[in-house]
Every structure is written in structure tokens, then in C-alpha cells.
Amino acid sequence: MPIAAFKWITVILLILGSHAPSAYAQSTSGATERLHEDAMASFRQARFPEAYGRFIALANAGHAPSAELALWMYLHGAPVFARDWDCTQEQLTAWAQLAGQPVPVLVERSYPRIFDPVATRARGNAP
């Protein structure tokens, strides 16, 4: 009798185990969609740095719609948002692949020096 009970327990665990990944995927998908909606809400409320941070977190986790938006925000940073968004070439490549778009090349940007570095000032000669 104990051997028969053991076989049934094994069968039940195998059946339950085969359904657990789909249940986990559904709950993960729902959580991801909620996080994406939160990022969209941030974007709609013009909280662009917050939205970009949320999009890149989801894009780095493999969420294609967020990857498309993170990529778009990166590509249009200066003209649309008056700022350049940080990322790496690896991120751009992964996001473009997720979004099914051509891979952009990360462009080095330099900014004009507006102020003298503090280290170059002589003592007592503050501007």
C-alpha cells in the first residue's frame, strides 16, 4: 500500500509541476504589463526620466514594447526631451533586436565646458 500511495503522489506532483510554469508565466506577464502601464503613466505625466528608467528596466528584462519605447526615447532624446539618455551599445543592440528594428550605433557626445573645474582655481581667486 505505501508503494501505491507513493506512485500516486509522484503522479500528482508531476501533473501539478507541469502546470506551474504556465501559471507562473501568466502571473509574471500580468506583473510586467502592470509595470509597463506604470511606465506609460509616467510618460503621459511628463515624468520622462522616471519613464525612461522604467522602460529600460523592462526592456533589459526582455519586454519588447518597453524596448521599443526605450529605444525611441534614446534616439530622440535631445530634440524631443532636451536631454541625452544613458545606455550602452549592448542595451541598444538588445532593445533593437527585441523591437525588430535596425541596431543604432552609440554616438559619443561631448559637451562644451561652461565652468572652470574647481581644481584649476587658485586659492582665493574664486570667480
When pLDDT is averaged across residues 110-116 and rounded to a whole number, the result is 67
Q: How far apart are the first and last CA of the chain?
A: 91
Task: pLDDT band for 2, please (50, 70, 90 cuts).
Answer: low
The better pLDDT of the pair 50, 22 is held by 50
**Position 116 in a domain:** no
**Position 83 in a domain:** yes
C-alpha cell at 101: 528594428
| Domain residue limits at 58 | 2-109
pLDDT in tens, 117-127: 666 655 555 55
Residue 79 has pLDDT above 70, yes or no: yes
Q: Is 62 left (phi over 0), alpha (psi -120 to 50) or beta?
A: left
**Position 127 in a domain:** no
Nearest to 69 by CA among 93, 97, 40: 40
C-alpha cell at 34: 502592470
Nearest to 91 by CA among 63, 109, 71: 71
**Position 121 in a domain:** no
pLDDT on residue 22? 39
Domain tally for the chain?
1
When pLDDT is averaged across residues 65-73 and rounded to a whole number, the result is 96
Q: Provide the residue type at 69 as one letter.
A: L
- Secondary-structure percent of the chain, ordered helix, strand, coil, rounded to 5: 70, 0, 30
**Position 19 in a domain:** yes
Task: pLDDT band for 25, please (50, 70, 90 cuts).
Answer: very low
**Position 46 in a domain:** yes
**Position 114 in a domain:** no
Residue 37 has pLDDT above 50, yes or no: yes
**Position 92 in a domain:** yes
Pair 92, 104: CB distance under 8 Å: yes
Residue 85 has pLDDT above 50, yes or no: yes
